[in-house]
Copies of this chain bind each other. A is one copy, B any other.
């Protein structure tokens, strides 16, 4: 290790620009913290001439990935280009060339994290990814170190800023999903193609990463049960409020008797739950550990500088390890074989909004249907609707299993008494 550490950056978009700004703007503090200068050596871009948020030196920019990945001067590669195929290939190449890697790429870590971490360890390299989950919140570190001695049994996260922004605005301004989405797109809080955010995929990737770490078990993206927020209506938000709940897109991960469940779904949170007051584009992760009890980590989930903070903090850790000669020795492989809960071991309460026939007897048909499946009702509200002959019924069940709830759901779908299941969400019990 010479008198300075040289970094190569893959991508110069929002986060890449933030990294360049922080490495330069905080150079003095960085030098104090790591004991040497940190310099940008090369930046892989797609277009040498593009106007940018930062003014990079022209000699940094390159169109050739090998100028970064095989550059003997470069010690650390920072991957902030996003995507999966190329990013994976480049990271593997960098690691195999003995370079330490820092990535902000949740898609990649959720799909190929185990492979990449193993390659890093095999090459004696660090692979850090704090920025991949909840931007500026140091949650990966909290799980790997701060809570390392505890047994985590529950994690709940608001880990997607776009959907939290949309749900907050729908709630506070009484707007529809479509109206808020349009506004969010205009303001740059939502992408032109919002699918990955609003369908819950982005949050699912983050929950796969968090639950792998928290439960010490390789949880794959496919193990996460996902439902987005496109079905959440103003009406649902209003009914939820009447019942004392706030609707949030919640990543939910629980471990009982060695078996886990991981889901991302719109969830009615009691207004007293710490996550119910996390608004706008903010993220938060609530963790329950057997010893520590309740903890929560709150902060910005995205953005140029918050995400760059996590990337550059990872860089500080990599360089400290370089100085101590201990790179590639910090990661602990998952301790347990993956065991997922079957549906009859997943417990929860559920919310239904139904349109039913406005006829004598309909209500008793409905009540029997729940009762026959062993599901009892905690709250029930009935409202006339604008369509003649139809009544709107809103139900919150008592605690039951996902299996029983699925039976109720499929029977409601088939029932002649029911015109339609307008909404069907999970309800969080009293805060643990």
Contact = CB atoms under 8 A, between A and B. Distances in A.
B332 A33 contact: yes
Contacts of A324: 324, 326, 329
A150 interface: yes
A288 to B, nearest CB: 10
Contacts of A312: 149-150
Contacts of A308: 149, 291
Contact of A298 (B26, B297, B329): B297
Nearest to A306: B292
A316 interface: yes
A130 interface: yes
A29 interface: yes
Interface stretch (A113-121, A139-147, A180-188, A354-362): A139-147
A313 B145 contact: yes
A142 B138 contact: yes
A57 to B, nearest CB: 21
B277 A317 contact: no
Contacts of A138: 141-142, 145-147
A297 B299 CA distance: 9
A305 B290 CA distance: 9
A136 interface: yes
A32 B335 contact: yes
B146 A216 contact: no
Contacts of A137: 295
Pick from A136, A142, A292 the residue with the most CB of B within 10 Å.
A292
A63 interface: no
Given A291-B22, A293-B300, A300-B295, A309 B149 contact: yes
A316 B332 CA distance: 12
Contacts of A294: 282, 298-300
A30 interface: yes
B317 A292 contact: no
A289 interface: yes
A292 to B, nearest CB: 4
A311 to B, nearest CB: 8
A330 interface: yes
A11 interface: no
A338 interface: no
Nearest to A30: B149
Given A32-B216, A32-B332, A141-B141, A292 B147 contact: no
Contact of A145 (B274, B277, B317): B317
Interface in A256-278: 274, 277
A315 interface: yes
Interface in A9-60: 18, 22, 26, 29-30, 32-33
Nearest to A332: B33
Given A149-B30, A326-B326, A329-B324, A309 B296 contact: no
22 contacts: A22-B150, A29-B216, A30-B149, A136-B292, A136-B295, A137-B295, A138-B141, A145-B145, A145-B316, A147-B313, A149-B308, A149-B309, A149-B316, A274-B277, A277-B277, A291-B305, A291-B309, A292-B305, A294-B298, A295-B299, A296-B296, A296-B297
Across chains A and B, which 6 residue pairs bring their CB atoms closest together, nearest first?
A138-B146, A149-B312, A295-B299, A291-B305, A136-B292, A296-B298
Given A136-B289, A148-B317, A292-B309, 15 more contacts: A22-B150, A22-B291, A29-B149, A148-B316, A149-B308, A274-B277, A274-B298, A292-B300, A293-B299, A293-B306, A294-B298, A294-B300, A295-B299, A296-B298, A325-B326
Interface of A: 18, 22, 26, 29-30, 32-33, 130, 136-138, 141-142, 145-151, 216, 274, 277, 282, 289-300, 303, 305-306, 308-310, 312-313, 315-317, 320, 323-326, 329-330, 332, 335
